[in-house]
Amino acid sequence: MTFPKNIFNSHPKQDGDFFLGLKRILGFKPKQLVFYKKAFLHRSMNRKDEEGNPMNYERLEFLGDSMLGTIISKHLYNEVPEGDEGYLTKMRSKIVSREHLNELGKDLQLIKYVESRIPKTHFGENIHGNVFEALVGAIYLDRGYKYCEKFINKRVIEPYVDIEQLEGKVISYKSLVIEWCQKQKKSFNFNVYEDTGNDSLKHFAVKLSIDNQVVSKARATSKKKAEERASKRAFFALQDKMK
């Protein structure tokens, strides 16, 4: 694949600063900056390659997600020989959860390299994890599997992957509450409605009822977040019964 020379409108000094920043993050020298520039290119820039295909980080994000899952799977397979398929899948999900990837992206301050027409203060939390995955995809295209594995070992596995801690980590409080209700043969209902508050962003509110009794309430900027927040409150309110 070829790209126009001026497609990123870069200057030598900007390339030099970008190169040094990348080298610090990666722990090795990038070879082809074009892949990494694409990893930080937001779709709002509306860039296209010579064939007219959209250029942004989303395809690299897809690739990076696959590479991350493969390398984490290999690590767990080697480290936990007694773990069955279900256990390994669950542990991998905890490591590559959206929440965890967002934390990784924040720790590396990746957002400061994002090129976008949208103010960075308007981005949602997931931009951090999305760009982290895109960066992994760029590493794979630039340096191959071994360097990709090296980066993930340094930035994900060594500092964050502790098997015993992960075993006790909760991915979804909503899943825990639903699973408990099903085991106890209790009915449950998430009553979600649009909140008519004075916030500039639209909010949703939720009432979580178990056996027709409201056990928790919450609000957030999405239905999913509101349900998870209400479930977390319900879990801590009922945790003595859920043990």
pLDDT at 144 over 80: yes
* Pairwise CA distance, residues 201 & 47, whole Å: 28
Active site residue 195: no
| 179 marked as binding residue | no
pLDDT at 2: 44
pLDDT digits (tens, 9 = 90+) for 35-52: 999 999 999 999 988 899
* Pairwise CA distance, residues 141 & 220, whole Å: 38
From the list 133, 142, 149, 227, the catalytic residue is 133
Percentage of the residues of the chain whose pLDDT score is greater than 90: 52
| 158 marked as binding residue | no
Q: Residue 243 — pLDDT band, cuts 50, 70, 90?
A: low
pLDDT at 71 over 50: yes
Give the domains, in start order, of the chain with CATH numbers: 12-167 (1.10.1520.10), 173-242 (3.30.160.20)
pLDDT at 72: 95
pLDDT at 192 over 50: yes
In order, the DSSP letters of 211-240 are: TTEEEEEEEESSHHHHHHHHHHHHHHHHHH
pLDDT at 99: 85
pLDDT at 176: 80
205 forms bridges with which residues in the sheet? 193, 219
Q: Residue 223 — pLDDT band, cuts 50, 70, 90?
A: confident
pLDDT at 82 over 80: yes
pTM above 0.75, yes or no: no
Active site residue 133: yes
Q: Which helix (H) or strand (E) holds 194?
A: strand 188-195
| 61 marked as binding residue | yes
From the list 49, 50, 51, 65, the catalytic residue is 65
pLDDT at 120 over 60: yes
